[in-house]
């Protein structure tokens, strides 16, 4: 009955772990969304929009007020100058923008370069479009590399005459890596040479720690010709359920993505567009407070994991910590088995990172687990208590 397009998908590990977490009363550090709401005045803006009659289809490309706010935000944080009429489109979350972009920019058989570990919707989108993924591994920190890193020969070999799209994510889920300017320039050079498009998923753009700098690829010299930037309001404003996303770039790229969007969802939820437009206009103090609060959460969970014997890898951005689990892993246990046991026997839910890899390369992270710290202090306290008993 199912089409070949979806037959391979199965149930995601996230559903299984969410179900097990409820069943075992686990502290849930698996799910990548906050267990608290965003700013009250932004929630109120959505309520006001509903009460004020913003309840019918929005303009397909995105409410003009929201597009104006996205343009102002891009100018404020990155110095980008964008025409809201032609260079910005709104979708139902970043996920839809990515799916639309893959549909709009690849033909069946075209190749898409993905960096492992990748956000899982990338591969599903590529598969549904009958395009072909080409994987490049981010390699874990080691004695000579303080951060996750790329092997240049492997990177270059992933590009062929069929490459049409390259999808990067910075700040990067699940590793917490910020791509450096040098890495982005190299990826850009290869993308340009292949005549492909670089899709840059920046949903964690405001979660950057320790005075680190998020480099928006589209702002590097020459990149605006071939780069489509994707982001959304979910992570930056702690309203992941609202699913307001957007894409920006050269008008031809945005128009192509909008062609798919008009038949995928047509428009994103109107009242939430109004509220996210207000959120993007929040003062700098909001964004500073946001980073401070997450810096505290990162420090707390990192200390608790370290004390419990995990080796926590550096996290420069996002709200995830990757940790090596060797001290607690039983012989022969992979990350899925380890995380299942951590949940069932110890009441702590974490995500096995091999779900962000192709099956061929999954063993690269069998000794790791991903812990989310987008949680309230009582939940982090409970996690620390349980970790201390390991
Ligand atoms: C890297 C990355 N991109 C995109 C998304 C989804 O964004 P949205 O909720 O706006 O669709 C997520 C959510 O976890 C993510 O981690």
Looking at the fold, whether 59 and 24 belong to one and the same domain comes out as no
3-state helix, strand, coil in the chain (%, to 5): 45, 15, 35
Distance CA 34, CA 353 (A): 19
Whether residue 63 contacts residue 299, with contact meaning beta carbons closer than 8 Å, is answered with: no
Within 8 A by CB and 6+ apart from 307, the residues are 387, 388
Task: Answer yes or no: do 102 and 186 share one domain.
Answer: yes
Q: Whose CA is nearest to atom 2 of ligand 1?
A: 119
Whether 122 is in a domain gets the answer: yes
- Residue of 12, 91, 94, 279 with the most ligand 1 atoms within 8 Å of its CB, for mutation: 94
Rounded Cα–Cα distance for residues 359 and 364 (Å): 10
Q: Domain residues for 300?
A: 4-30+285-388
Of the three residues 228, 261, 282, the one that is the final residue of a domain is 282
User: Which ligand 1 atom sits nearest the alpha carbon of residue 119?
Assistant: 1
Residue 89: inside a domain: yes
Centre of ligand 1 to C-alpha 58, Å, is 22
pLDDT of residue 384: 98
For 147-195, what is each residue's pLDDT tens digit? 999 999 999 999 999 999 999 999 999 999 999 999 999 999 999 999 9
Q: Which of 282, 315, 348 is where one domain is finished? A: 282
CA of 93 to the centre of ligand 1 (A): 7
Mutate to test the pocket of ligand 1, among 99, 116, 119 (most ligand atoms within 8 A of CB): 119
Using a 6 Å CB cutoff, which residues line ligand 1?
32, 93-95, 119, 169, 173, 201, 203, 232, 234, 240, 243, 245
67 shares its domain with 164: yes
Q: Name the residue of 234, 244, 315 to mutate for ligand 1: max ligand atoms within 8 A of Cβ.
A: 234
Please indicate, yes or no, whether residues 11 and 65 belong to a single structural domain of this protein: no
Closest CA to 233 of 372, 111, 62, 85: 62
Q: How far is the CA of 203 from the centre of ligand 1 (A)?
A: 6
Q: Same domain for 330 and 368? A: yes
Residue 255 lies in a domain: yes
Ligand 1 atom 7, closest CA: 94
- How many angstroms separate the CA atoms of 357 and 140, rounded? 13
Domain shared by 238 and 303, yes or no: no
Domain limit, last residue, from 282, 305, 326: 282
Task: State the total domains in the chain.
Answer: 2
User: What is the distance in A from the centroid of ligand 1 to the CA of 174?
Assistant: 11
Give a yes or no: residue 35 inside a domain: no
260 in the same domain as 289: no
Q: Which DSSP string do the residues of 12-62 spell out, in sequence order?
A: -HHHHHHHHHHHTT-EE--SSS-SS---HHHHHHHHHHHHTT--SPPPTT-
Predicted local distance difference test score (pLDDT) of residue 315: 97
Whether residues 210 and 187 fall in one domain: yes
272 and 304, same domain (yes or no): no
Find the 207 Cα to ligand 1 centroid distance in Å: 13
Is 82 part of a structural domain of the chain? yes
Question: Which residues of the chain carry a pLDDT beneath 50?
Answer: none
CA of 239 to the centre of ligand 1 (A): 12
127 lies in the same domain as 167: yes
CA distance to 43, 45, 133, 364, per residue, from 38 (Å)? 7, 12, 36, 36
Give the pLDDT confidence score for residue 232 in this predicted structure.
Answer: 98
Q: What is the CATH number of the domain that holds 126?
A: 3.40.640.10
Q: Do 239 and 129 sit in the same domain of this protein?
A: yes
pLDDT for the residue 302: 98
Report how far ligand 1's centroid is from the alpha carbon of 183 (Å). 22
The whole-number pLDDT of residue 143 equals: 93
């Amino acid at each position: 009955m199912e089409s070949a397009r979806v037959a391979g998908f199965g149930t995601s590990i996230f559903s299984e772990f969410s179900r097990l977490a409820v069943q075992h009363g686990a502290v849930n550090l698996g799910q990548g969304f906050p267990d608290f709401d965003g700013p009250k005045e932004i929630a109120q803006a959505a309520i006001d929009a509903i009460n004020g009659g913003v309840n019918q289809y929005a303009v397909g490309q995105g409410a003009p007020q929201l597009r104006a706010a996205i343009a102002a935000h891009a100018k404020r944080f990155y110095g980008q100058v964008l025409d809201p009429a032609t260079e910005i489109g709104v979708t139902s979350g970043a996920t839809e923008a990515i799916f639309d972009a893959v549909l709009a920019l690849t033909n069946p058989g075209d190749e898409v370069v993905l960096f492992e570990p990748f956000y899982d919707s990338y591969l599903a989108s590529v598969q549904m479009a009958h395009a072909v993924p080409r994987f490049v591994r981010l390699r874990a920190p080691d004695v000579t590399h303080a951060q996750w890193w790329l092997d240049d020969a492997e990177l270059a070999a992933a590009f062929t005459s069929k490459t049409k799209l390259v999808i990067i994510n910075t700040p990067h889920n699940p590793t917490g890596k910020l791509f450096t300017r040098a890495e982005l320039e190299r990826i850009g050079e290869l993308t340009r040479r292949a005549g492909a498009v670089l899709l840059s998923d920046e949903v964690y753009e405001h979660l950057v720690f320790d005075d680190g700098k998020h480099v928006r690829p589209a702002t590097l010299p020459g990149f605006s010709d071939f780069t489509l930037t994707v982001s959304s309001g979910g992570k930056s404003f702690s309203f992941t359920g609202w699913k307001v996303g957007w894409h920006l770039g050269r008008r031809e790229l945005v128009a192509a993505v909008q062609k798919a969007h008009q038949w995928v969802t047509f428009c994103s939820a109107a009242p939430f567009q109004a509220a996210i437009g207000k959120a993007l206009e929040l003062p700098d103090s909001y964004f500073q407070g946001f980073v401070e609060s997450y810096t505290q959460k990162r420090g707390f969970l990192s200390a608790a994991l370290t004390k419990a014997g995990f080796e926590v890898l550096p996290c420069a951005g996002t709200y995830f910590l990757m940790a090596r689990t060797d001290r607690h892993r039983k012989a022969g246990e992979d990350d899925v088995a380890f995380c299942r046991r951590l949940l069932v026997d110890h009441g702590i839910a974490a995500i096995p990172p091999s779900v962000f890899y192709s099956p061929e390369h999954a063993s690269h992270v069998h000794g790791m687990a991903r812990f989310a710290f987008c949680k309230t202090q009582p939940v982090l306290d409970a996690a620390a208590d349980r970790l201390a008993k390991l």
